[in-house]
A = this chain, B = another copy of it.
Amino acid sequence: MASRANLSDIAKALGVSVATVSNAMSGKGRVSKELGRAIREKAKELGYVPSLAGRALSTGRSHVLGLVLADIGHPLFPQFAQAIEHAASEAGYGVLIGDSRGDIEAQSRAINRLIERGADGIVVVPRHGTRIGDIGRPVAVIDSPSTPGNTVAADHRNGGLEIGRHLLELGHRSVAIIGLHSDSSVQNDRIAGIREAFASKGEIRLIWIGEMERSHGSGCPLGLVRLVEEGVTAFAAVSDLHALRAITELQQGGISIPGDVSVTGFDDLIWAGVIAPSLTTMRMDMERIAEIAIAELISQIEQGGARDAPSDLPASQGQSSIPMELIVRQSSGPALGLPASGETAPALTGPASSNMSQVLPLRSTTREGSD
């Protein structure tokens, strides 16, 4: 089997010049209707596939984009990768992945590697608290709308607002927010949103997992049961991962969800729908985010060429923030003291956290799965 057909094969077969064939395929030069059709037919017949390498060398464009995730191990990565790949593919671009496990320096190394590999532009979901400097090539940053230099992101603040309102409507007046650490814009936006929803309407406390783990080791209990005793009726985690941690810890402590307390998450990660109780959470519109990021990137690539200073033009339409969607499932319910079905919930009596062998009353779960 001969190796792949090229332009010259088609040209020879039809007795025309390669340039004409090239023009016909790209629809750029001046080629008569008929010849154009004939060429495309022949191309199909020979199974012609353009050589990206040849094209890249000639045009200086590889038609490949780089994707750099700060934390490629994050469970959100699949969604990102899938959406970005899809959008890029639609636009005729391939996606090269860059691993930046580890620190910030690794992140820039990853970016550089991708550039050396010839990526026309880079999509970055940066590590917390990182700013992407000028890398001499178009970049689209997906972080949070409040991050300077951000290109597109979900409206995390509004997401927080919605989850806050949801809990508020359910009657919760004392909630604990669970975050990892305070140097992530995404988390801070979400938290700010929740706070805004509760402004003066309820009491909020903050739990930083990062801090607790620093003193008690990774995977340590978060002491949530004690908070429940102190009156907290809802836990709003800024990630489904933390929500999961909360749910299991509470359940292990004999607390019923959503009977006794509610738990909400963020991101609608893969397990959100299958755990018991299934998780109420906020979902990003990855498809749209990816589309916009890619569109921005490609527009920069195609017009800009060698433009590197992002301060040059005000980046097309500026930064867009995409609404998030509230997914109500089983893990959120009416606050204790606001009986759902006429029955009065028994108050929690005595300390339950330190001594799990105590007998706890379990309320029945009344809600059904909705999706």
Q: Which residues of A are interface residues toward B (Cβ below 8 A)?
A: 1, 3, 49, 51-54, 56-57, 62, 64, 67, 72-75, 77-79, 81-82, 85-86, 89, 94-99, 101, 113-114, 116-118, 136, 217-221, 241, 244-245, 247-249, 251-252, 254, 256-257, 270-271, 273-278, 306, 308, 355-365, 369, 371
Contacts and interface: CB of A to CB of B under 8 A. Distances in A.
Contact of A245 (B99, B275, B356, B359): B275
B72 A78 contact: yes
B49 A53 contact: no
Contact of A252 (B3, B116, B251): B251
A139 to B, nearest CB: 17
A362 B116 contact: no
B271 A244 contact: yes
Given A57-B53, A271-B244, A97 B97 contact: yes
Contacts of A77: 77-78, 81
Contacts of A357: 361-364
A86 B99 contact: yes
A80 to B, nearest CB: 10
Contact of A247 (B82, B136, B241, B248): B248
Contacts of A245: 271, 274-276
Given A118-B53, A244-B271, A248-B275, A219 B95 contact: no
A347 to B, nearest CB: 16
A101 B357 CA distance: 46
A355 B362 CA distance: 10
Contact of A75 (B75, B97, B254): B75
Contact of A3 (B57, B82, B241, B306): B306
Nearest to A279: B248
Given A52-B118, A241-B271, A245-B276, 7 more contacts: A75-B271, A82-B99, A95-B97, A218-B274, A219-B274, A241-B274, A359-B360
